[in-house]
Every structure is written in C-alpha cells, then in structure tokens.
C-alpha cells in the first residue's frame, strides 16, 4: 500500500522542497517506487527536478485538482527510474479562489490520488508555505506529515498553528493523519542557537524528532539550479549522506 507523506510547515524557507526532492530521490535510489507531487504554486520542486513549467503547460496539479484530467495524465518520468512527478504551475493559485464555494473542495487531491497511490511505495507531497486550501488538500490526502524545522530562534513559534491545523484535519476530513516527525534542517553545529533550538525541540517533542539531522550544506542549495537531486549532483556530499540516512529512518519507522 502506498504511504502518502506531506512535507509541511507554513514557515517559508525551512527546507520543505529540499526535503521533498531529496527524500523522494533517496527512497527511489533505495529501490522504492516513489511519486513526488509538487503542491506549491511556486513550483520549486518542478524546476528543481529539471522540468520548466512554461505558460502553456496544461498537465499539472492544477488541471488534476480541478478535475480536468486524471492524475495519471499529469505524471512525468524524472531522471531517476523509480521516481515520477506531478508538476506544479503558478496557475495553481487559482484553485483556492475558483473552488471557494464547491462541495468537497478540501478532498480534490485525495480523490485524484486514491486510484493511483497504490502503484507506489511512497507518495511525497511538497506543500507551500501556507495553511490554505491547497495545503489542507495535501493533509487530507496524506497518511502522515513530516515537519522540517530550521533551528532558528523563531522556529518554534509557528509550530503551534501547524499542529492545530493538523489536529483540525484529523478531527474532520482525515482521522487517519499522523505526524511522522520533526526534521531538523540546515543545522550548523558551530552556531550556538542551532544547538539550543535543536535541544529544545528534542526535550519538547522527544522521539517525534528524527534522529537524522540535515546539516547546512552548500551543495544542497546548488543542486536545484542543475535540475538534480543531491544524489545525482554530488554523491559524496554530506547532503547526500544526510538525506539517504533520513530515507532509511523513514523506511525503518514504516517497516511492516
Ligand atoms: N541543508 C541545507 N543546506 C544549505 N542550504 C539549504 C539546505 N536546505 C535548504 N537549503 C536552501 O535554503 C533555501 C530554502 O530551502 P527550500 O526551498 O527547500 O525551503 P522551503 O521550505 O521549500 O521554502 P518555501 O517555503 O518557499 O517553499 C533554498 O535556497 C535551499 O536551497
Ligand atoms: Mg518550497
């Protein structure tokens, strides 16, 4: 059965897209069948995997979510054999406005994904930095949420709102949703505040914080401009090792 994991945090720039791309690629390299869905109108995952959504692109998540095409009609084969993608497009912003009064507007993605998800071992959804309708759709379609956290001073402040949204989705449209865990990203052990915030996270959320820590690594920020996951861009980098370890931790936690 395909496990659907949303990568979500309404705080911007915390490493959601980097985590979505590199977790998906690492799981695929570990011989899992993986689908990555770009659920952010910024389309950073789409371009980060070397697909440029031009203005006349008509097979993206937007067309899928408004029910114009099936999700299988939007699939793209990426450079990694086991990794497929549903791309995004700036048009996706229109979904929130156009669907405002529609019934079932929170479950459009779930309805599209349900018939396809069991073709994969994992489906990874890259969410946008918001808690709007598209993110609610992502949470409604998911089995669990990975929350990337950058260990900065304000990192913990927004988490309450995110956990509240997750709990609302659990009480309403998706009672099966769980929190997979918190992932510390862009960690720099020489920065005292990083160590402090990481310790605070672990003392508060205990084993909900993944053992794997993603270190700050310049190669991770370079890879998207080459349209590649880190493992194809620089296989011996810390970024590759960190995300492979994270993928192994996810596999370990989800062992049947
Ligand atoms: N471990 C890392 N080391 C160095 N740079 C990183 C790392 N992780 C992410 N970055 C860089 O930090 C920036 C923000 O990362 P990313 O785009 O993954 O965040 P995001 O949460 O998806 O942002 P948004 O909220 O805009 O969608 C990017 O330039 C990315 O390349
Ligand atoms: Mg992003």
Which CATH number belongs to the domain containing residue 240 in this structure? 3.40.50.300
154 falls in which pLDDT band (50, 70, 90)? confident
Q: What is the pLDDT at residue 23?
A: 98
Of the pLDDT bands very low, low, confident and very high (cuts 50, 70, 90), residue 136 is very high
Domain count, the chain: 1
Q: Is pLDDT of 256 > 80?
A: no
pLDDT for res 52:
82
- For 90, list phi and psi in degrees, rounded to 5: -55, -25
Q: Is residue 62 part of a domain?
A: yes
CA distance 19 to 135: 16
Query: Which of the four pLDDT bands, split at 50, 70 and 90, describes residue 57?
Result: confident
Q: How far is the CA of 72 from the centre of ligand 1 (A)?
A: 28
Segment 174-198 shows an average pLDDT of 96
Q: How far apart are CA 185 and CA 214, in angstroms?
A: 5
Q: Does some domain include residue 40?
A: yes
Please tell me the predicted confidence (pLDDT) of residue 156: 84
**Is 201:182 a contact under the CB 8 Å cutoff?**
yes
Closest-CA residue, ligand 1 atom 7, reads 186
Atom of ligand 1 nearest to the CA of 242: 1
Share of the chain above pLDDT 90, in %: 90
Nearest atom in ligand 1 to 127's CA:
27
Residue 28 has pLDDT above 70, yes or no: yes
- Whether residue 156 is contained in a domain is answered as no
Query: 122-127 and 3-7 as β-strands: parallel, antiparallel, unpaired?
Result: parallel
Ligand 1 atom 20, closest CA = 13
Can you tell me which atom of ligand 1 is nearest the CA of 18?
18
The predicted structure's pLDDT at residue 55: 63
Mean pLDDT of the chain: 95
- For 71: left if phi > 0, alpha if psi spans -120 to 50, otherwise beta; the answer is alpha
Residue nearest to atom 8 of ligand 1 (CA): 15
Q: Is residue 58 part of a domain?
A: yes
pLDDT digits (tens, 9 = 90+) for 63-122: 999 999 999 999 999 999 999 999 999 999 999 999 888 889 999 999 999 999 999 999
Boundaries of domain holding 101: 3-148+217-249
The Cα 21–Cα 23 span in angstroms is 6
The answer to whether position 187 is within a domain reads no
| pLDDT of 56 over the 80 cut | no
Domain assignment present for 159 = no
pLDDT, mean of residues 162-177 = 95
How confident is the model at residue 74, as a pLDDT? 96
Whether residue 47 lies inside any domain: the answer is: yes
Ligand 1 atom having least distance to the Cα of 215: 1
Q: In this structure, which residue's CA is closest to atom 10 in ligand 1?
A: 221
The residue whose CB lies within 8 Å of the most ligand 1 atoms, and thus the one to mutate among 8, 9, 17, is: 17
Residue 193 lies inside a defined structural domain of this protein: no
pLDDT of residue 54: 66
Render pLDDT for 194-224 as a digit per residue (tens, 0 to 9).
Answer: 999 999 999 999 999 999 999 999 999 999 9
pLDDT at 44 over 90: yes
């Amino acid at each position: 059965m395909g496990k659907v994991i949303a990568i979500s945090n309404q705080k911007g720039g915390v490493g959601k897209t980097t985590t979505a791309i590199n977790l998906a690629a690492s799981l695929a390299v570990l011989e899992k069948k993986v689908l990555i869905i770009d659920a952010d109108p910024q389309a950073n995952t789409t371009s980060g995997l070397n697909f440029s959504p031009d203005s006349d692109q008509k097979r993206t998540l937007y067309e899928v979510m408004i029910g114009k095409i099936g999700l299988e009609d939007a699939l793209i084969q990426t450079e990694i054999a086991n990794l497929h993608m549903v791309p995004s497009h700036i048009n996706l912003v229109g979904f929130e406005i156009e669907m405002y009064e529609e019934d079932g507007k929170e479950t459009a993605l779930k309805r599209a994904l349900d018939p396809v998800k069991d073709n994969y071992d994992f489906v990874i959804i890259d969410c946008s930095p918001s808690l709007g309708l598209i993110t609610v759709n992502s949470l409604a379609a998911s089995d669990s949420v990975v929350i990337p956290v950058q260990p900065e001073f304000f990192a913990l402040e927004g988490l309450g709102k995110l956990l509240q949204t997750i709990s609302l989705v659990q009480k309403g449209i998706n009672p099966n949703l769980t929190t997979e865990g918190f992932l510390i990203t862009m960690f720099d052990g020489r920065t005292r505040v990083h160590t402090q915030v990481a310790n605070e996270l672990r003392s508060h959320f205990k084993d909900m914080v993944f053992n794997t820590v993603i270190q700050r690594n310049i190669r991770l920020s370079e890879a998207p401009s080459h349209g590649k996951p880190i493992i194809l861009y620089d296989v011996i980098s810390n970024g590759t090792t960190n995300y492979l370890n994270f993928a192994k931790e996810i596999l370990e936690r989800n062992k049947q």
